[in-house]
Amino acid sequence: MRVSGSICCILLILPIVTHAQNELDRLLKGEIQYESLQANHLDALLRIYAFKPSTDKLSEPGELSATDLQLSLGLSSAVESKIKTRSSDKRIQQSKNRDAFQLAWFYYNERKPAQALEVLDNIEGKADGVSLSDIEYLRALLYIHAGSFKAAAKLLYELPLIDQPRGYTQYNLALAQLQSGNEERGSSRLASLGRMNTSDADLLALKDMANLKLGYRYLQQGNLEQAKASFDLVRLDGPFTNQALLGSGWTLFSMSQLKRAIVAWSLLHKQEAINDTVIEAKMALPYAYSKLGVHGKAANLYAQAVELFESEIAHLDASIEAIRKGDLNQAIINNHTTQGDDWFIRLSSRSEQAEFYLPLLLANNEFRDQADKLSQLAQLKNRIELGLTSVAASSEFARLKRKYYGTNLPAAEKELSAIDQDMKNIIPSVSQQTDTPNKRENMIPEIALLQQTYDNVLEAHKATAEYNRQLPEYSRELAELATELKGLDPKLSQAIANTGKQVEAIALTTLDRKRNQLKSYHHNALFALAESYDFATGNRQ
C-alpha cells in the first residue's frame, strides 16, 4: 500500500518537475539563442557551461550546441580535440560525428578543403541529425574547391533527388561537369535550371545565375544566338541584371546589332553606382556610337567617362590616404558597439565616415576575414574594459561594506545580547503559564511571533557576520581578477595592432589595383575621346 502510494506520489510530482525542468531549459535555450543572435557567442557559450547539468538536452540536432558556439568563436581546435577520441557509447559517438560534420563545414567556409576532407573521412557510422547525403554533398563541394571536378560531378550525380538542397545541387553539378570537360551535360543542366518555373526568391536568383553563366560561356564560344537567348532569360530587377546587360550588349555587338547593344548598355550607363560592370559600360556605350558613326555623341560620352574616371581616381586617392592614416582600422575598432556579426553594415551606413570602398573590400575574402577578426578583437577589448570598470565598482562596494560593518556590527552585537537577555526573561515566564516550556505551538501568538522574528534576526546577523568575515577574501579575488584582466590588455592591444596592419595592407593592395584599373580606363578613354572628337569635328575622315 505504502509502495503504491509512493509511486502515485512520484507519478503526480513527475510531470510538475519535468514541466519545471522543461521551462528552465526553454528559458535557457532562449537566452543562449538570444546571445548568439547578438553575436555574443562567448556569453552564449558561458551560459551553456554554467548550466552544464542540463546541457545534455540542449544539443539536440538543429539546436544551438557548444560546438556551434565554439566554431562561431573560431575555436576549431577545441572541437578537434572533442572529436579526436572515439566513444564506445553509440549515442555519444553519433553526437561526435555531428560535431565533426559541423567542423568540416567550418573548414569549408574557412576555405580549407583539405582539412575539411580529412575530418569528413574520419566520420564512421551515423551522425546525429545528419544524413549520408548531407555528408556527400559537402564532400562534393570540397572536391569542387580542391579542383577535383570529376569526382565532385560523380558524387553530386549520385545524390538521391529527395536529399538535394533545392536547385543548388543542380547548379554545382553543372559547374563540376563543365569544369571536368563534360560541356554538353553541364550546359544542358544549366539550361534546364535556367528555364525552371519558380516564385522562390533564392531560386530565381539561382536561375538568373545559371542563365548568366551559360550566356557568357556561349559568348566565349561564339555561339551568339544561344548566348543572347540565355541572357534574355535574366530578370531586369535581379542581382545579376548588370552583368547580364553587359554580356547581352557584347553579344548583340558581336551580332552587329549595334542599336540593340546600345539599348542594353544605356541602361547600365545611366546608373550612378560605380562598379566594374558600370565602368565597362561607360566605355562600351560610346564605342558602339562611334562604330555607328555617331561621333559627336561618342565624344561627349567619352568626355563624361574621362571626367568620371578622374573624379573616381581622386576619390580612391583620398581613401588610400585615409587608410594609410589608419582611419579604416579606427572606424572598425570604434564600431565595436555594433550588435551582431554584420559590423560593416553599420560602418558603411555612417555618412560621416570617409568612403572606404567597403563593398569592393568586402568582396575580398581575405579582407573580410581579417576585418572580422579586428572587429571581434575590438569588441573583446571593450568587454574587458567594461569588466574592469565592474570589478573596480565591486571592489569599492566591498570596501564600503567592510567599513560600514566595521563601525556598526559591534554596536549591533551589544544590542542583540541585551535583546537576548530580555527574551530569556520573558519566555520562561510564558512557558510556566502554558506548562510546556519553549514549545512555540503552545505559546501566546504574540510571543511566538516575537520569538520567530528574533530567530530571523539572529540568522540574518550570523549571515552578515559570515559575509563580513569573507569580504577581505572577495576583495582579494576581485583584485586578482583585475590584475588578470589588465594583463590581457597589452596582449590584446598587440593582436589588434597586428590584425589592423593586415587589414590595412589588404585594403591598400585592393584599392591600388582598382586605381590602376581606372588609370588604364582613363588612358584609353582619353585616346578614344581624341579620336571621336577628331571625327566629329572633321579633323579626321
Partner 1 sequence: MTSSARTISMRATHRGHTTTLCAGLLISLMLTAACNITSIEDENTLSSLEQMDINIQNEKIEDSLHKAMEPKQGAR
Residues in the chain: 541
- Measured CA to CA, the distance from residue 450 to residue 430 in angstroms comes to 12
- Measured CA to CA, the distance from residue 355 to residue 376 in angstroms comes to 22
Q: Which is nearer to partner 1, 234 or 447 (CB)?
A: 234
Residue with cell 560621416: 352
Q: Which is nearer to partner 1, 313 or 481 (CB)?
A: 313
- All three cell numbers of 259, joined, read 542599336
Beta carbon of residue 292, minimum distance to partner 1 (angstroms, whole number)? 6
Beta carbon of residue 256, minimum distance to partner 1 (angstroms, whole number)? 14
Helix (H, G, I), strand (E, B) or coil at 127: strand
Write out the residues near partner 1 by the rule CB under 8 A.
197, 199, 231-237, 241, 244-245, 248, 259-260, 262-264, 266-267, 289, 292, 294-297, 299-300, 303, 530, 533, 536-537
Cβ atoms of 247 and 221 closer than 8 Å: no
Beta carbon of residue 537, minimum distance to partner 1 (angstroms, whole number)? 7
- Measured CA to CA, the distance from residue 296 to residue 532 in angstroms comes to 7
Q: Which is nearer to partner 1, 313 or 388 (CB)?
A: 313
Question: Residue 127 phi/psi, 5° resolution?
Answer: -120, 140
Q: Which is nearer to partner 1, 303 or 488 (CB)?
A: 303
Task: Return the sign of the alpha-carbon dihedral for residues 119, 121, 122, 123.
Answer: positive
Which residues, 6+ apart, have CB-to-CB distance to 379 below 8 Å? 336
Per-residue DSSP letter, 73: T
Q: Which is nearer to partner 1, 140 or 244 (CB)?
A: 244
Which has the closest alpha carbon to 449: 459, 460, 441? 441
- Measured CA to CA, the distance from residue 498 to residue 496 in angstroms comes to 6
Q: Which is nearer to partner 1, 196 or 495 (CB)?
A: 196
Cβ atoms of 108 and 145 closer than 8 Å: yes
Q: Which is nearer to partner 1, 117 or 262 (CB)?
A: 262
Q: Which is nearer to partner 1, 1 or 236 (CB)?
A: 236
Beta carbon of residue 127, minimum distance to partner 1 (angstroms, whole number)? 40
Beta carbon of residue 541, minimum distance to partner 1 (angstroms, whole number)? 16
Beta carbon of residue 294, minimum distance to partner 1 (angstroms, whole number)? 5
Neighbours of 311 (CB within 10 A): 11
Beta carbon of residue 237, minimum distance to partner 1 (angstroms, whole number)? 6
Helix (H, G, I), strand (E, B) or coil at 130: strand
What is the Cα 370 distance to its own chain's centre? 13
Beta carbon of residue 184, minimum distance to partner 1 (angstroms, whole number)? 25
